Amino acid sequence: MATTSSASRVAYRLNRFGRAPRITKSLRKDRATHLPIPHVPVLTTREFAPNRLKDHYHTTLADDLMYLTYTHEPSGVERKAPRQIRLKFDPEDPYSKFRHNPPVGGSQVGKKPAPPSTPEDTVRLEKIQIHTFIKESLQNKSALLSPIMMLRALTGETAKGGGQHAVEGIQLVKGRKAVGGWIRPGVPVGAKVDLRGQSMYDFLNTLTEFVLPRLRDFNGIVLPPKSSSSTTPSTVSGVVSFGLPPEAMVFFPQLEVNVDAYPMLSGIHIHFVTNAKGKGAQDKARALVSGFQVPFVRR
Amino acid sequence: MLSRHVLKQVGSCPRAARRAFATEVSSSPASSENVAQSVRPKKSEKPRISTAVILNRSPILTKAPTPFETAFYSYQARIRRALSNPFPHDFYFKQGSLLQTRFNLEERQREKRAFGPSFLPTEDVDPEKAAADKAAVEQLAQQEGEGEELTSRTHKADLTNDVKSLDRKGQRNLYLLLLAEENGKDVWRFPQGGLEKGDLLHQAAQKDLFAECGEQMDTWIVGRNPIGVYKPKPASNEPQDHVFFFKGHIMAGQVHVDGQRVKDFAWLTKEEIGEKVDKDYWEVVSDILSDC
């Protein structure tokens, strides 16, 4: 009697399993691997814990960023299409008909206007990409092992780990073209990892709480001088990038516990990728990232 | 840009003044009629512009999960644990180290919590060694200062319902509301003040906030654009009022009211504000305030 009452008490708990269900029918086994095949084809994990920084974004940052990045356009008035001042070869001309026909004066990518300001289009963090290039790996492929383990420890990401099927884990970066005597196509030269959702916010949290405050000569991400061009592709793509030197890596608590296990710590590039696009996108992205307490300085 | 926007909102300036610089004045009779009409407005009809600041204290505590969220997160965490890749023990721990012993003990606890007491096979270890391990881990935890009592998530101000405290309702957005005398009666409203000649709107907002709430606080006005406008019904022969709202954040300090014009203040959540302010005021501000 006492056991049933305690069992039911456990069952009412929202976050506890009382007892694993009894196995009545054994699962089919894969012929090749001899591993059991689950009843459902895909088990997908969604969010598995509350998230402080995500809450902070929704309760505070989203409103502020909407007010800060708002550009007024009269309602009900369609945007004028840009005036075609750049010449093209006549598209009906048999010579140029099926040829690549860009406007004279180069690509207009950097002059693409931002989409209209709407509440749905408020700038938000899409992913964080961490990337490391290892020069020694050109001679010696095993030089990549230490950085791969470092990225695994930093982010906890493994391919499809924890039932998250879109997660690719740590990826090798391979050379794309041949540069005389230095790099060849298909040669592994680095490692990268894409962080989204929970692990993205976890990494951002570690970075701003543990690493950046402990860096001695880091006052903030250096902003470009005011005179720099605002029409380059990087300013309209809504990405904020910066790098950490190898000396900074020991401040990550994940690496601090067993620094000796890594024969060589390498620095990392960190890219904060946001949904901002068009003119002024990088400024919007900086406003967002600084809202997560990443400092910026102007030289 | 901003002043042009304000002019457009007010809509009272003569048409001739808004004409683009390099255009010719057309001499058609229609336009001269227009000019004649728009020169007319009397001084008393010129609208009054004032600014108000919606001063916000952001949440200082994480949100407590609802029962549904608790169950959902725990279920998802269980799936995640079951499907996660194996942990590389020998990479992170030296064989037989105290840290590894602690990790193994904690991991057994977590497995037990996730999958039930019958999930793990019983370990056949020497009971003496198990007791020694446990004692060593406990000592380590004590050295690292674990097990200290955490501060309560309910503040004293919540128990006494002290609406002047900035520590109340840590999980919610709070907004500053003032009790002020207007037209002979007391009304609750946001800090507000008039616009002086030559001031920009966002500068006026900061000035008016300090004028009504004292300078003993650190605040930041978000952006230079107003986030809302309130046009109260004017009394007869009175000019129309335009109150432009700005959002602000309080970083430190506290409000100090003079007790003359402004009698009282309160830090309130959205619902509490709805109970205190007038209906037409509420219709304008309710969508600006945060539900969480």
Domains of chain A: 114-298 (3.30.1440.10)
Residue among B79, B91, B223 whose CB faces A163 most closely: B79
For residues B135 and B265, state if they share a domain.
no
Residue range B56-95, pLDDT digits in tens: 999 999 999 999 999 899 989 988 888 888 888 888 888 8
The whole-angstrom distance between A63's CA and the closest CA on chain B is: 9
Cβ–Cβ below 8 Å for A64 and B227 = no
Q: Is there a domain that residue B290 lies in?
A: no
For residues B231 and B250, state if they share a domain.
yes
Residue A8's pLDDT is: 47
Q: Is there a domain that residue B157 lies in?
A: no
Residue A107's pLDDT is: 73
Cβ–Cβ below 8 Å for B116 and A19 = yes
Q: Is there a domain that residue B152 lies in?
A: no
Note whether A87 contacts B: Cβ–Cβ < 8 A: no
Q: Is the pLDDT assigned to residue B185 strictly greater than 60?
A: yes
Residue B33's pLDDT is: 43
For residues B131 and B236, state if they share a domain.
no
Distance CA(B123)–CA(B105), nearest Å, equals 11
Chain A interface, best mutation among B2, B4, B58, B97, by max A CB count within 10 A: B58
Residue B14's pLDDT is: 40
CB contacts, 8 Å: B92 with chain A: 257-258, 261
Residue B147's pLDDT is: 78
Cβ–Cβ below 8 Å for B92 and A257 = yes
For residues B177 and B274, state if they share a domain.
yes
Note whether B2 contacts A: Cβ–Cβ < 8 A: no
Cβ–Cβ below 8 Å for A163 and B83 = yes
For residues B1 and B97, state if they share a domain.
no
Residue A12's pLDDT is: 65
CB contacts, 8 Å: A149 with chain B: 91
Sign of CA dihedral B119, B123, B129, B131: positive
The whole-angstrom distance between A161's CA and the closest CA on chain B is: 5
Note whether B97 contacts A: Cβ–Cβ < 8 A: no
Residue of B74 and A10 predicted with greater confidence: B74
Q: Is there a domain that residue B159 lies in?
A: no
CB contacts, 8 Å: A254 with chain B: none
Instruction: Give the 3-state secondary structure of chain A.
Output: CHHHHHHHHHHHCCCCCCCCCCCCCCCCECCCCCCECCCCCCCCCCCCCCCHHHHHHHHHHHHHHHHHCCCCCCCCCCCCCCCCCCCCCCCCCCCCCCCCCCCCCCCCHHHCCCCCCCHHHCCCEEEEEEEEECHHHHCCHHHHHHHHHHHHHHHCCCCCHHHCCCCCCEEEEECCCCECCCECCCCEEEEEEEECHHHHHHHHHHHHHHHHHHCCCCCCEEECCCCCCCCCHHHHCCEEEEEECHHHHHHCHHHHCCHHHCCCCCCEEEEEEECCCCCCHHHHHHHHHHHCCCCEEEC
Cβ–Cβ below 8 Å for B247 and A67 = yes
Per-range mean pLDDT, top range of A12-16, A183-187, B13-17: A183-187
Give the pLDDT mean for A262-282.
Answer: 94
Give the pLDDT mean for B186-197.
Answer: 93
Q: Is there a domain that residue B292 lies in?
A: no
Q: Is the pLDDT assigned to residue B43 strictly greater than 60?
A: no
Tell me the sheet residues that pair with A242: A270
CB contacts, 8 Å: B244 with chain A: none
DSSP per-residue codes, chain B: -HHHHHHHHH--S-HHHHS-TTPPPP--HHHHHHHHHHT---GGGSPEEEEEEEEEE---SPPPPPHHHHHHHHHHHHHHHHHSPPP-HHHHS-TT-HHHHHHHHHHHHHHHHHH-TTSSPPP---HHHHHHHHHHHHHHHHHTTTTPPPPPSS-HHHHHT-TT-TTSSTTS-EEEEEEEEETTEEEEE--EEEPPTT--HHHHHHHHHHHHH-S-EEEEE--SS-SEEE-PPPPTTPPPEEEEEEEEEEEEE-----SSSEEEEEEE-HHHHHHHS-HHHHHHHTTTS---
pLDDT, averaged across chain B: 84
For residues B196 and B279, state if they share a domain.
yes
Residue of A181 and A156 predicted with greater confidence: A156
Interface ipTM > 0.85 = no
Distance CA(B13)–CA(B8), nearest Å, equals 9
Rg (CA), chain B: 31
Residue A17's pLDDT is: 63
Q: Is there a domain that residue B11 lies in?
A: yes
Residue B32's pLDDT is: 41
Residue B238's pLDDT is: 82
Residue range A208-234, pLDDT digits in tens: 999 999 999 999 999 999 888 888 888
Note whether B71 contacts A: Cβ–Cβ < 8 A: yes
Q: Which of B93, B111, B143 is the last residue of a domain?
A: B143
Q: Is there a domain that residue B158 lies in?
A: no
Note whether A263 contacts B: Cβ–Cβ < 8 A: no
Note whether B119 contacts A: Cβ–Cβ < 8 A: yes
For residues B139 and B229, state if they share a domain.
no
Cβ–Cβ below 8 Å for A59 and B58 = yes
Residue A20's pLDDT is: 62
Residue B47's pLDDT is: 86
Residue range A134-152, pLDDT digits in tens: 999 999 999 999 999 999 9
| HSE-CB of B269 using CA atoms within 13 angstroms | 14
Taking CA atoms, what residue in A is nearest to B84? Answer: A162
pLDDT, averaged across chain A: 88
Tell me the residue range of the domain where B200 lies: 48-60+166-285
Which pair of structure tokens corresponds to residue B217?
Answer: 């606080």
For residues B249 and B180, state if they share a domain.
yes
How many structural domains are present in chain B? 3
CB contacts, 8 Å: B292 with chain A: 58-59
Note whether A117 contacts B: Cβ–Cβ < 8 A: no
Tell me the sheet residues that pair with A36: A29
Residue among B69, B92, B118 whose CB faces A20 most closely: B118
Residue B39's pLDDT is: 55
Residue range B119-167, pLDDT digits in tens: 888 888 888 988 998 999 999 888 888 878 888 999 999 999 999 999 9
Q: How many percent of chain B have pLDDT more than 90?
A: 54
Residue range A179-193, pLDDT digits in tens: 888 889 999 999 999
Q: Is there a domain that residue B249 lies in?
A: yes
The whole-angstrom distance between B251's CA and the closest CA on chain A is: 13
Cβ–Cβ below 8 Å for B79 and A14 = no
For residues B227 and B257, state if they share a domain.
yes
Note whether A33 contacts B: Cβ–Cβ < 8 A: no
For residues B89 and B231, state if they share a domain.
no
- Chains A, B: CB contacts under 8 A, how many? 101
Residue of A89 and B249 predicted with greater confidence: B249
| HSE-CB of A6 using CA atoms within 13 angstroms | 4
For residues B22 and B54, state if they share a domain.
no
Distance CA(A18)–CA(A23), nearest Å, equals 15
Residue A21's pLDDT is: 67
Q: How confident is the model at residue B176 (pLDDT cuts 50, 70, 90)?
A: very high
Residue B9's pLDDT is: 43
Residue range A23-51, pLDDT digits in tens: 788 888 989 988 888 777 777 788 899 99
Residue among A45, A67, A164 whose CB faces B227 most closely: A67
Cβ–Cβ below 8 Å for A72 and B117 = no
Non-local (6+) Cβ contacts of A245 within 8 A are: A267
For residues B172 and B262, state if they share a domain.
yes
Cβ–Cβ below 8 Å for A50 and B74 = no
Chain B interface, best mutation among A10, A16, A63, A255, by max B CB count within 10 A: A63
